[in-house]
Amino acid sequence: MGRLAARRRLRGASASRLNGSNRVGLPRVGPNPSMKFPNLPALTSLPMPATVLVLAQDPTPPPAKGDQPPVNFWGFGGPGFMFAVFGLFMVLMIWMPARRQKKEQASMLASLKPGRKVVTSAGIVGTIAKVADADDELVIRSEDTKVRVLKSSIVRVLGDETTEAK
């Protein structure tokens, strides 16, 4: 029997009798005496996807003892070594520079005093007129205006206004 005859046979009535439906590929829905829930299709009548068949296969047997040496977890190629390298990278490249920058920012904010020229995070350039340590606020004089800002908004100290005026 050729391929064409096999296709015709699957399209015909014999295919509907094989899978229990009136069309090829659809399960029969109706009373099923072998199940508790008669309106659900029987599991044997559903087509099995190829992924289920692949996952249902037996796993490959482990190699014989003499074939491969055991993997050292902390060895050069082991996963522990890679975790240690990644952790060292995080500490050296991310955590330590951020800590150093935070210390520099804290020391700069502690050394603010009247007469220093500063830049805020909003881009306002001005001279410190008054420092209120209790409220963590500064009064900045810029041209003809005075602005109250938080100490944490100071990004950079440009220098003393008195040294620039000389």
Contact 147, 138 (CB under 8 A): no
Could you tell me which residue, 137 or 73, shows the higher pLDDT? 137
Does 40 reside within a domain?
Answer: yes
Q: For residue 16, with 0-12 CB atoms within 10 Å meaning exposed, 13-18 middle and 19 or more buried, which class applies?
A: middle
pLDDT score of 166: 45
Does 143 reside within a domain?
Answer: yes
CATH classification of the domain holding 143: 2.30.30
Does 78 reside within a domain?
Answer: no
In the chain, how many domains are there?
A: 2
Does 16 reside within a domain?
Answer: yes
The domain of 18 spans 3-55
Does 86 reside within a domain?
Answer: no
For the chain, give me the number of helices (H) and strands (E)?
6, 5
From 55, 73, 98, the end of a domain falls on 55
Chain segment 93-132, per-residue pLDDT in tens: 999 999 999 999 999 988 899 999 999 999 999 999 999 8
Q: What is the mean pLDDT of residues 144-153?
A: 92
- Distances in Å between the Cα of 100 and the Cα atoms of 4, 13, 61, 126 are 77, 79, 53, 27
- Distances in Å between the Cα of 5 and the Cα atoms of 2, 8, 23, 160 are 5, 5, 18, 97
Contact 27, 19 (CB under 8 A): yes
